[in-house]
Amino acid sequence: MSAPADILLHHRDDRGVHTLTLNHPRAFNVLSEAMLAALRDGIAAVAADPASRVLVIAAEGRAFCAGHDLKEMKARPEQAYYQDLFARCSKLMLSIRALDVPVVARVQGLATAAGCQLVAQCDLAVAADHATFGVNGIDVGLFCATPGVALSRNLLPKQAMEMLMTGDFIDAQQARERGLVNRVVPAGELEAELEGLVNKLLAKPREALALGKQLFYRQLETGMDAAYQLAGHTMACNMAHPVAQEGVQAFIDKRAPTWRT
């Protein structure tokens, strides 16, 4: 199945909210080579926009993303090719983490394998109540190793391992209870719930969110002593920044800070 020319839609509103929409619903929005390249370029464009505030990753159709394109992979049964493909996908996932702005997944349907990885890699996620999540590569003899990296950083280890080993799917409520998504609402309320969350993020200073996001992920990968050192340094830099100085003064003055007006 040939990929459409507009395989990824990119919209930016006047608030600096970017939306990247996976737009190959007939193929369940698989992460084909074309989709990976389009997402890479889309995320790079968000990173290059100094006025960006939030990135939403969404999808058209019944599926959010069904993972890698297995037909495309089967056509090139070469380990070197697979190594390069998974390296490109991993680089894409890390680029989401590296973005200064919050990244929110809008999950309207099935998210499996690398599609579930994409949800797990986003900073936040809002899901429709009929969405389902799985890392079921094991069903075709392929342990979802790279999706497991992001999944194991969202779920408790045994919960993640059960999904990876059995290929069983979880529903949206289970995904929320286990930490994979933040909010679950009926499909008709998904857009409004997303907008409410985005507006909360827009009400906070971009600089503080950027510092905080960078620190949050760095400290997760370190021991507690190093994590406190990193956190203390980040808070000192944040406190010295004009947005925090203004916020604290506004609190003292009992008024709204200027960055909220």
- Give the pLDDT confidence of 129-188 residue by residue, as tens digits: 999 999 999 999 999 999 999 999 999 999 999 999 999 999 999 999 999 999 999 999
Domains detected in the chain: 8-202 (3.90.226.10), 206-260 (1.10.12.10)
**CA–CA separation, 84 and 168 (whole Å):** 28
The DSSP code for 180 is: S
How many helices (H) and strands (E) in the chain? Answer: 11, 10
Q: How confident is the model at residue 261 (pLDDT cuts 50, 70, 90)?
A: low
Query: pLDDT by residue (tens digit) across 21-42?
Result: 999 999 999 999 999 999 999 9
Mapped onto helix, strand or coil, the DSSP state of residue 19 is strand
